[in-house]
Chain A
């Protein structure tokens, strides 16, 4: 079995400050994982803001060059694409869905124009009826139809519908991988589950691998097969999602789980500030630690015992 997406020891550092006061921010440090071909899954990256999860996603999309290491899609290096043809070829396999659907669409354009452009450019559809068929097929996959969407502006649709249109647009070229960066954080509570259920259906029915980036552990548990938890650029725990979330081993993963507000005690609970000391300590040692095998097929970042 070959890997569709290979991430080998990828790091990214951003330079800050001027020539004389230069400092570096390590956004991603030595991240490695692979996604196998023919085995669609929801792979979730969890972390707080500043943990490097979005930078990692941007590198997978080829929007950011890694400082070291390499990313490969079906054996081909991602990044360094200088011409439009190569870039378009790449975009046929990997497609993004962004956080805020209201900002992703130009308010002065009909939303179906985005779908149409994707169908013409990425799918190479020439005839109008081919384009319409491709648009309708993609919209059907997300539970909408072209008749509902044609000629609509962004403000005429609810956040949930608009996010589904954004996902439909990403599905037009039939990509193998969909990268969804916080796709539900801007969607209303009653519509949120429809998006999350949709991501699950895409995996089950249309063989799309979803790279789901979130800080919400509860939805991560609900849809993920595998999970990677990032802390300040380091992957600290990675493996089967449910195993990890039921009993996290790394102190930071435990901190995240403790911070999830439980509804089981609704009305009787007293919120207590989470204890960061262990996670803080673990973070300071991340540089010297390595990922070692833990229980249940997971890997956990630990400092080697002498």
Chain B
């Protein structure tokens, strides 16, 4: 198999997170009927230091399940069937499945933090923001009470939030401010590793750009790694260093952002990139027929083959491995050599300016 960790590690072994052949299924058994939903099916990847790794995929492609596995949020019916997860922060090495809840709590927030989707439902509506900060972050920072509030206030200032928000209830803040509070909460302990699950999906365009700019800046100053999950390819284009494209529980393509946009090697990626409408372009955008597969009964062979314009007989029976197709670039397609970009991205706008 070429999907082993060797093919991903590029001379670095201090990657904060390494997943190896991970399989996580939802196993249910009602009235003797057993059902398994293969939401994460044989995924190997590693996240490097100080990079933004984007995970793209439609709903029910398994991206949230993937995050849950390494955020230490595996609860029945979700079960890790095989494979391994390894965190490494300096000398601290840890497998979130193997350790006890107490040990996991030591790395939570201090090393790994999580910006969740839907800021309204994340913050406790009947507690002021300062209580949430105290609940989440106080014990991880190991500071005195006054030192803690000083650090929190200084941190809020970096996100352009006034200290008064600490006294507010979540409903008193606007959507963009709440999302910034969530980002502040997740970054106040200066974690090495941040997981962001659709942090800007419910926001307006202008606020979205605000929040993204702030997240980017705070990440640069903390030098942490970020796993950024969203279905919006235009957000990935602007945030991610590398992108992994998920389809039906598998990573179908992974590579540097620029490469995926200009020279994709999987037909699904080629479609996602070409179907993005852009201002200044009214040519008809192709739509992909069919629907995302049902994960409890996925198609045989390559899971994309029923919708794939390039499918051949081999695709219906044999699963394509995630193979190296270029510099730091992997694709799981039998015909990856035949994939051509369906659209041309113009030369870098910034090159003229710089």
Q: Please state if B279 and A263 are interface contacts (CB–CB under 8 Å).
A: no
The answer to whether the Cβ of B288 comes within 8 Å of any Cβ in the partner chain is yes
**Count of interface residues, chain B, beta-carbon cutoff 8 Å:** 57
CB < 8 Å: which of A216, A261, A263 contacts B345? Answer: A263
B256 touches A (CB below 8 Å): yes
**B75 on the A face (CB < 8 A):** no
B231 contacts A by Cβ under 8 Å: yes
Contact mask A244-278 → B, CB, 8 Å, 1/0? 01100000000111111111111111111110100
* Beta-carbon contact of A271 and B209 below 8 Å: yes
Given A196-B277, A222-B277, A256-B205; A270-B216 close (CB under 8 Å): yes
Contact B345 A264 (CB under 8 A): yes
Instruction: Point out the residues of chain B lying under 8 angstroms from A221, CB to CB.
Output: 277-282
- Complex contact B213–A272 (CB within 8 A): yes
Known: A48-B204, A158-B291. Contact between A267 and B282, CB under 8 A?
A: no
Tell me if A44 is interfacial: C-beta within 8 Å of chain B: no
Chain A window 45-80, contacts with chain B (Cβ cutoff 8 Å), 1 for yes, 0 for no:
000110000000000000000000000000000000
Question: 22 A-B residue contacts at CB 8 Å?
Answer: A48-B207, A160-B291, A189-B232, A190-B272, A192-B287, A193-B286, A193-B287, A219-B277, A221-B282, A222-B281, A259-B205, A259-B209, A261-B209, A261-B212, A262-B238, A262-B278, A262-B349, A263-B278, A264-B349, A266-B345, A269-B237, A269-B350
User: Would you call A261 and B234 a contact (CB within 8 A)?
Assistant: yes
Please name all residues of chain B whose beta carbon is closer than 8 Å to the beta carbon of A262 when the two chains form the complex.
234, 237-238, 278, 349
Contact with B along A158-202 (1 / 0, CB 8 A): 111100000000000000000000000000111111101100000
Q: Which residues of A contact B205 (CB under 8 A)?
A: 48, 215-217, 256, 259-260
Cβ contact within 8 Å between B213 and A273? yes
- Residues of A in contact (CB 8 Å), total 47
Complex interface bits, B203-218 against A, C-beta within 8 A gives 1, otherwise 0: 0111111101110100
Which chain B residues border A263 with CB–CB below 8 Å? 233-234, 237, 261, 273, 276, 278, 345
Whole-angstrom distance from the CB of B342 to the nearest CB of chain A? 12
Instruction: Contact check, A193 vs B235: say whether CB atoms are below 8 A apart.
Output: no
A77 to B102, CA, bound (A): 68
